[in-house]
């Protein structure tokens, strides 16, 4: 996927939660959704899923 960079920084993840920084180029325009799921804290690590949802209709 071009134009979307996702950086995940784990900083005291179990205490403060995971901080996600999204630096985007055309991200909101293209309708990109970012889902962050924490699975078993630092043991399993954090899974980040980036799903691109574009409109099927274009004018």
Record the pTM.
Answer: 0.21
pLDDT of residue 8: 54
Task: Write out pLDDT tens, residues 2-52.
Answer: 555 555 554 444 344 445 555 544 445 455 555 555 444 434 455 555 544
Give the bridge partners for 51, in sequence order: 33
Q: How far is 49 from 57, CA to CA, in rounded Å?
A: 24
Half-sphere exposure of 24 (CA within 13 A, CB side): 14
Q: How far is 54 from 59, CA to CA, in rounded Å?
A: 13
């Amino acid at each position: 996927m071009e134009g979307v960079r996702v950086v995940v920084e784990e900083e005291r993840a179990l205490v403060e939660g995971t901080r996600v920084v999204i630096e985007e180029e055309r991200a909101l325009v293209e309708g990109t959704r970012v889902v962050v799921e924490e699975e078993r804290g630092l043991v399993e690590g954090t899974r980040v899923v980036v799903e691109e949802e574009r409109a099927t209709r274009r004018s």
